Amino acid sequence: METKQIIIIGSGPAGYTAALYASRAGLSPIVIEGHEPGGQLTTTTDVENFPGFPEGIMGPELMSNMRKQVQRFGTEFLSTKVSEINLAKRPFHIKCENGQEFLAETVIISTGASAKYLGLANEMQLIGKGVSACATCDGFFYRGKIVHVVGGGDTALEEANFLTRFADKVFLLHRKDSFRASKPMQERTFNNPKIEVVWNTEVKEILFDDSGVHGLKVYNNKSNETYDRKTDGFFLGIGHEPNTKFLKGQLALDDHGYIKTEGKHPDTSVSGVFACGDVQDPYYRQAISAAGSGCQAAIRAERFLEDQHDKTQKN
């Protein structure tokens, strides 16, 4: 079985940046990309908050460019997922869904976090066409418009408040008659004149045409009424789920499933295993912060390998 100095699990800005630094350091990394190479940015349209692109860039194009840059330095890519991993001892044992197995001296995990969706018809197809799960990413495009946000926790209320920087009106839809968000966040929301809360309301259908989303069909579970609401945009604020199920019992995770890292470093609870990107960051969740953490993870992995080599030489 082949032993690699470094294997990167996951792609996106974090994984590709980690691979860029690792490959330029001569570590010949393998990137196990998963079934959606490039991560969540491949489902977005215009990206205007990533440095270096004064006119913006399409999400899929940005990820394609990153991948090509990494490939230039000799990184190997596998379009499969990790089915099983054993981090109990080094070298770490990794099994892939396609049947390939590897041993790795170090592992970088950049599997990201997936936004939660309602499961409505056409919901995923309308991402970038009026449906979004990231106000920070897409809020700018709704300047002077009317938008709806669904959810009742801190995520939804944060999204709604952020969107008021751009939208003329933000309607916050919640299926219950009270929020589960923190009290300070609730007070901030109730005091924001641009936000109107619509209680006891569930979204049943997204209304759209060739130009994108133009309305929502909703159901009021108190009055038993179904009706349409006009909107220019529909934001999901029901949280994110880190892609860490394959790590259960292998690494220390927080209560929400995110990988715990050591202070300001990408080090995990297992020596030689590092995490970067959204899989360990429930706060920022931005392409630029993910890329930065990928750089950190690769540098830490490189120095870990150097330290191990030095110890071997001394012995």
Q: Which residue has the tokens 């599997």?
A: 111
Decide if 138 is catalytic: yes
Q: Please list the residues that pair with 213 across neighbouring strands.
A: 208
85 Rama sector, left if φ>0, alpha if ψ -120 to 50, beta otherwise: beta
Q: Which of the residues 96, 134, 232, 276 is marked catalytic?
A: 134
Q: Which of the residues 137, 232, 276, 278 is marked catalytic?
A: 137
Q: How far is CA 223 from the centre of its chain?
A: 37
Q: Which residue has the tokens 């309607």?
A: 171
Pairwise CA distance, residues 208 & 244, whole Å: 34
Pairwise CA distance, residues 116 & 256, whole Å: 13
Inter-residue contact 202 to 218 (CB < 8 Å):
yes
Q: What are the backbone dihedrals phi and psi of residue 44, each rounded to the nearest 5 degrees, phi first?
A: -100, 165
Q: Which of the residues 138, 267, 278, 281 is marked catalytic?
A: 138
Decide if 232 is catalytic: no
User: Which uninterrupted H or E stretch holds 251?
Assistant: none
The C-alpha angle 245, 246, 250, rounded to 5 degrees, equals: 105
Decide if 96 is catalytic: no
Q: Considering only CA atoms, which of 201, 197, 131, 132 is closest in space to residue 170?
A: 197
With 0-12 / 13-18 / 19 or more C-beta atoms within 10 angstroms meaning exposed / middle / buried, residue 72 is exposed
Which residues belong to the active site?
Answer: 134, 137-138
